[in-house]
Amino acid sequence: MPTFTFTLNGSLTTVTSPADRPLLWVLRDTLGVTGPKYGCGVGVCKACTSHLDGSAFNPCITPVDECAGRDVTTIEGLADGDTLHPVQQAWIDEDVAQCGFCQPGQIMAAAALLARNPAPTDADIDAIDNVCRCGTYFRIRSAIHRAAGR
Amino acid sequence: MSVTPDEARDAHAARGESPSPSVVPGISRRRFLAYLVAAPLLTVVVKAVDDTLLPLADRAEAALGVSNVVDLSDALTLAALPTAYLLKIEITPEGRAVVHVPRAEVGQGITTAMGIVAAEELDAGLDVVDVVLDDARPELLWNQLTGGSNSVHSLYTPMRTVAAAARARLVTAAARRFGVDARGLVTRDATVVAPDGRTATYGSLSAEAAQITTPDVPPTPKDPSRFTLIGQPTTRLDARDIVTGKAEYALDLPIAGAPTVVARAPTIGGTWRAVDDSTARTMPGVLGIARIPSGVAVTAATFDQAQAARDALRITWDPGPNAGLSDAQIRSQLRAAAPPFVVPPLGSLSVSREFDFAFAPHAPLEVLTCVADVRPDSAEVWYGAKSPIIASQSVAAAIGLPPDRVTLHVVRSGGSFGHRLFFEPAIEAALVSKALGRPVKLMWTRNDDMRHGRMRPASHHKVRATCLLGNVISYDHRHATLPVDFSHGLGEALSAAGFNVLSPGVTQTVFALTQSVPYDFGVATQTLTDVPLAFPTGSWRSIYSGQTATVNEVMVDEIARALKVDPVAFRRKKLSSARTRVVLDQVTSVGQWGRPMPAGTAQGVAIHEEYKSVVAYLVEIDCRDQTHPRVTKGVCAVDVGRAVNPRGLEAQVQGVLTDALSVTLHAGLHIDNGAVREGSYSDYRFARMADSPLEIDVVVMPPNGDPGGAGELGFPAAAAAVANAYARATGATPFSFPIAD
């Protein structure tokens, strides 16, 4: 079986895996990185949203071979040690989460948005398509605006 | 373990409060007894007694049909009385207050709410409180059910009692250590402080406090005027764990369970007749294949391998009981079951309407998952159970172990909305673990969840209001639906409270306990007719109210329209409850009811009373793009008696508006020949950010009693407000939901 090497949350990581295995299951089942969640497996709910070279992507529909040599960041790698990323802090300040299951993906989507657009409009925020079944969208929007203001 | 009953008090009287008007006489005389547990460190538990239980239950049964006298929350609270200890607080040497709660955390915030109440009565900071969800505790009989928006209502007073009892012993221990009068000591920040400045932390006092059988100060909860935490907006205790990805759901637990998925029939209730697994067995990573009643389970090294091998199974399916049934036939059966109005209208004006609702899935974002480790003589199960006792007992029966050999750990879960009252995944995981002789992590895929999960049943409603001289003199609502499955312990809880659920049946009992018409509408009659179709149904956020009460609030607008009066003025005039009128006034004031708006946009209002609480919503909708109506604004006023955590309460009423606008405007299921058409969030159109209001204002009413329920409260009012706004914006009242078929 082939091996693939990529940077995961700052550490060089090598896995043995079929080339077409979705990265989500490499992360969860092989590496024990469980922040990215399964919610649909087809890139629709976006609960697994993480960053590939700094852009939001969905590991559930991204084969591991596409990640070789690249930089993968999951929710576990967003904070700088004990110092939360501004988006994480804004999430706490706005008390966004309810069940919390979608929130790692929501936070990663918001962080990617702010990285390329530091002052998003409501229409820009509307383009985030991650599902929150508890309906925390209103607070997510507030948290993104709050993080943008930092 | 020996326990020493050492104090009994009237919790209600001790607070110096008068019971809220909606509390049944007798409930207010419920007493909670705190017990010191013989242990090396301070451990206090609380249990309840109520010598008025039986007479009250008799009264409650006689009151069936008058749900504002004894409602479902009362019934569940009644059921909770005569069991083993409810709550336990332990003080560790490190000064942590470990609070054990027999409920599930599904996002509703019960752990935070209970942490606040415990910290308040302990005089400890929230940062030293750890709230732990109890494993299944069969000795609690029926009182480990998270449902009916009942958790805060049922646990508020016992939690205050047990925490106050613990604090009294810590104070007494400090007094004896210091050699001073306990009555002169004060507590703050988990520390006892003497008048001379000496201090002792709770952690340092725990072992001594464990010896105090009779405290020197009254173990009395605070007067609410002294609250510093209860009623303060508080961020979730688990917020940091969630935003850093540390919060663990069942499949995240560090347990070496093998990934498992189940091949299921294309149709609801279908079963396998013949299975050829010769190819699947040779697929990479496959560890085992097990035939179980609900399908064929495949266990592999990783979930992608399990799913690939599942897809390589060749299975002949029997289609199950619903083959050939589609929406049209189901709808016509429901329509036929709701009896038409045969008596001619008595008055000069009759407003008759019919409504239809599609099936709605719970679709929690975390699919159903369970970890099971079945050994020859014992089993351990990790599941986000809202009814863990019956879940654990059912697992034991399925795998042929005595019930006391099964341990079920209640894991935090990624949403429920009623779904996790059921426990099919726990039984499946246990069966597979037993068959394969290894621990497994079983996951329903999203397709499984959409196509085989529980649903709010479709329904049909015939409603007629008869009006005379501007008054409604009779109101008749006939609700036909599929039987809601309550086989998760609610029936047992109601039986324990003295309700006869066998006749007329649990669905009729729940309907009667929850449904009332909150208006002066003369003779009001509401009936439930079950059409026994074999679909996997279940309680869905607000149970019958999500349809019955929503329809009633749309009808109120229809009646007002027919009488040519303003719907808010009409509600104000006809509402039975002054408390509800207050929240209605709040939303119409804050939301500027009647403000000029462009054509194609409009406001809508609705109210709801349940769970000892009242709520009103005003929403604004923009229907100028008829294909994408958008709720642009929401205003909510909510009175739950006393909000333990107003910030959590706001989260519930904000979130439920998202739920409500989804299933009102665009989210529903279709049934095609016995199968659910939708397979994921791509075609089940639950709201996204782009559907969410840009503005939501919430008014939390000041405390005026004990806490009622909140989690489900907002749904009917929010859904009806959206429908009423849509009707006013488009000129066409919606009669079928979701509006976009």
DSSP, residue by residue, A90-146: HHHHTT--SS-TTHHHHHHHHHHHHHH-SS--HHHHHT-----TT--HHHHHHHHHH
Helix (H, G, I), strand (E, B) or coil at B182: helix
Cα B255 from Cα B278, distance rounded (Å): 30
A2 vs B contacts (CB less than 8 Å): none
Tell me the mean pLDDT in the region B200-229. 95
Q: Is the pLDDT of residue B499 over 70?
A: no
Whole-number pLDDT of residue B67: 37
Is the Cβ pair A138, B654 closer than 8 Å?
yes
Chain B residue numbers with beta carbons less than 8 Å from the beta carbon of A44 are 680-682
List of chain A residues whose C-beta atoms are within 8 Å of the C-beta of residue B363: 133
Report the gap between the CA of B607 and the closest CA in chain A (Å). 20
Chain B hits for A127, CB-CB cut-off 8 Å, are 689-690
Question: Residue B463: pLDDT band by 50, 70, 90 thresholds?
Answer: very high
Q: Does ipTM exceed 0.85?
A: yes
Q: Do A41 and B647 touch (CB under 8 A)?
A: no
User: Residue B141's pLDDT band (boundaries 50, 70, 90)?
Assistant: confident
Q: How far is B714 from chain A (nearest CA, A)?
A: 13
Q: How far apart, in whole angstroms, are the C-alpha atoms of residue B447 and residue B474?
A: 45
Distant-in-sequence, close-in-space partners of B311: CB < 8 Å, separation ≥ 6:
none
Taking CA–CA distances from B254, the nearest residue in chain A reads A32
Average pLDDT over residues B602-623: 98
Q: How many CB atoms lie within 10 A of CB A59?
A: 26
Rounded to the nearest angstrom, the minimum Cα separation between B177 and chain A is 39
The dihedral over CA atoms of B310, B387, B545, B353, expressed in degrees to the nearest 10, equals 40
- What span, in angstroms and rounded, lies between the C-alpha atoms of B260 and B440? 6
Alpha-helical regions (H) of B254-302:
278-281
pLDDT range class, residue B95, cuts 50, 70, 90: very high
Residue B365: which of A107, A133, A138 has the nearest Cβ?
Answer: A133
pLDDT for the residue numbered B489: 72
Measured in whole angstroms, the distance separating CA B22 from the mean position of its chain's CA atoms is 21
**Alpha carbon distance A138, B25 (integer Å):** 41
Amino acid (one-letter) located at B367: V
A133, A139, A144: best to mutate for the B interface, most B CBs within 10 A: A133
Helix H, strand E, coil C: the string for B209-264 is: HCCCCCCCCCCCCCCHHHCCCCCCCCCCCCHHHHHCCCCCCHHHCCCCCEEEEEEC
Q: Quick: pLDDT tens for B404-452.
A: 999 999 999 999 999 999 999 999 999 999 999 999 999 999 999 999 9
* Minimal C-alpha gap between A55 and chain B (Å): 19
Tell me which chain A residues have a C-beta less than 8 angstroms from the C-beta of B242: 91, 97, 100, 103-104
Query: How far is C-alpha B518 from the chain's CA centre?
Result: 22
**Mean pLDDT value across residues B284-290:** 98
Q: What is residue B501's predicted lDDT score, i.e. its pLDDT? A: 62
The tokens describing B526, both together, are: 């509401």
From the CA of A96, how many Å to the nearest CA of chain B? 8
Q: Work out the average pLDDT over B236-247.
A: 98
pLDDT recorded at residue B33: 80
- The alpha-helical segments, DSSP class H, found in B325-401 are 327-337, 388-399
Under DSSP, is residue B267 helix (H, G, I), strand (E, B) or coil? Answer: coil
Residue B629 tokens, joined = 């109506």
- Asked if pLDDT for residue B658 goes beyond 80, the answer is yes
Average pLDDT over residues A88-112: 98
pLDDT value of position B64: 35
The angle formed by the CA atoms of residues B64, B67 and B69, to the nearest 5 degrees, is 90
The values of phi and psi at residue B66, to 5°, are -120, 75
Tell the residue number behind the tokens 């497994």, with chain if given.
B440
Are B684 and B678 within 8 A, CB to CB? Answer: yes
| Mode of pairing for the β-strands spanning B199-201 and B191-193 | antiparallel
Q: What's the rounded mean pLDDT across residues B663-681?
A: 98
The closest alpha carbon to B676, from B262, B260, B261, B264, belongs to B264
Query: Can you give the pLDDT at residue A37?
Result: 98
The CA distance from B25 to B30, in Å, is 10
Name every residue whose Cβ is closer than 8 Å to that of residue A116 and which is 6 or more positions away in sequence: A55
Question: Average pLDDT for residues B536-564, to the nearest whole number?
Answer: 97
Q: In Å, how far is A88's CA from the nearest CA of chain B?
A: 6
Cα distance between residue B707 and residue B154, in whole Å = 9
Residues B234 and A89: their CA atoms lie apart, in Å, by 15
Confidence of residue B509 (pLDDT cuts 50, 70, 90): confident
Mean pLDDT, rounded, of chain B: 90
- The pLDDT confidence band at residue B285, using thresholds 50, 70 and 90, is very high
Tell if the CB–CB gap between B302 and A29 is shorter than 8 Å.
Answer: yes
Please give the average per-residue pLDDT across B585-614, as a whole number.
98
The pairing of strands B369-374 and B440-443 is antiparallel
Find the mean pLDDT for residues B256-269: 97
Q: Mean per-residue pLDDT for B226-245?
A: 98
Q: Could A95 and B651 be called an inter-chain contact, meaning their C-beta atoms sit closer than 8 Å?
A: yes
Residue of A nearest to B302 (CA): A29
Which residues is B131 bridged to in the sheet?
A: B99
Average pLDDT over residues B698-709: 97
How far apart are alpha carbons B231 and B119 in whole angstroms?
A: 13
3-state secondary structure B628-668: CCEEEEEEEEEECCCCCCHHHHHHHHHHHHHHHHHHHHCCC
Nearest to A138 among B412, B680, B696 (CB): B696
Mind telling me how many Å the CA of A8 is from chain B's nearest CA? Answer: 15
Rounded to a whole number of angstroms, the distance from the CA of A92 to the nearest CA of chain B is 6
Residue of A nearest to B415 (CA): A99
Tokens, residue B615: 């709520």
Report whether B137 contacts B144 (CB < 8 A). Answer: yes
pLDDT at residue B166 tops 60: yes
**Are the beta carbons of A99 and B106 separated by less than 8 Å?**
yes
Q: Is B216 exposed, middle or buried (0-12, 13-18, 19+ CB in 10 A)?
A: middle
Confidence (pLDDT) at B57: 41
Nearest to B395 by CA among B385, B381, B384, B409: B381
- Of B314, B320, B223, B207, the residue nearest B267 (C-alpha): B320
Could you tell me how many residues make up chain A? 150
The DSSP letter of residue B136 is: P
**What residue has token string 């909140």?**
B710
Integer CA distances (angstroms), B315 to B275, B319, B436, B674, in order: 5, 12, 20, 18
Q: Look up residue A17 and give its two tokens.
A: 């895996």
Under an 8 A CB cutoff, do B654 and A100 touch? Answer: no
* A131/B365 touch (CB, cutoff 8 Å), yes or no: yes
Q: With an 8 Å Cβ cutoff, are A88 and B415 in contact?
A: no
Q: Which is nearest to B475 in space by CA: B566, B569, B576?
A: B576
Residues B389-408 pLDDT 10s? 999 999 999 999 999 999 99
Report whether B581 contacts B569 (CB < 8 A).
no
Which of B107, B303, B655 is facing A100, going by the closest CB pair?
B107
Of B301, B647, B687, the CB nearest to A95: B647
Asked if the Cβ–Cβ distance from A134 to B687 is below 8 Å, we say no
What tokens appear for B309 in the block?
Answer: 């091998």
Whether the Cβ atoms of residue A47 and residue A39 lie closer than 8 Å to each other: yes
User: The whole model's pTM is what?
Assistant: 0.93
pLDDT above 80 for B346:
no
Q: Rounded distance, CA B148 to CA B78, Å?
A: 13
pLDDT digits (tens, 9 = 90+) for B53-82: 434 443 333 333 333 334 455 555 555 544
Residue in chain A lying closest to B108 (CA): A98
Chain A closest CA to B676's CA: distance in Å? Answer: 16
Give the whole-angstrom CA distance, residue B576 versus residue B581. 8
Residue B326: name the closest of B364, B372, B358, B289 by CA.
B358
pLDDT over 80 (residue A3): yes
Which of B240, B414, B692 is nearest residue A99 as measured by Cβ atoms?
Answer: B414
Q: Which sign, positive or negative, has the C-alpha torsion B140, B141, B146, B148?
A: negative
**Cα(B185)–Cα(B363) distance, rounded to whole angstroms?**
52
Chain B contact set for A19 (CB, 8 A): none
Question: CB B504: neighbour CB atoms within 10 A?
Answer: 13
Percent of chain B whose pLDDT exceeds 70: 88
Lowest mean pLDDT among B125-139, B487-501, B721-735: B487-501
Residue B340, pLDDT above cutoff 90: no
Whose CA is closest to B249, among B452, B410, B425, B130? B410
Orientation of helix B202-209 relative to helix B151-178, angle to 10°: 90
Q: Among partner residues A30, A47, A92, which is closest to B302 by beta-carbon distance?
A: A30
CB contact under 8 A, A137 and B688: yes
Structure tokens of B687?
Answer: 């709201």
Q: What is the secondary structure of B318-345 as a DSSP string?
A: E--TTTT--HHHHHHHHHHHS----SPP
- Taking an 8 Å cut-off on Cβ atoms, the answer to whether B244 and A88 are in contact is yes
Closest of B517, B253, B204 to residue B370, by C-alpha? B253
Q: How many CB atoms lie within 10 A of CB B58?
A: 11
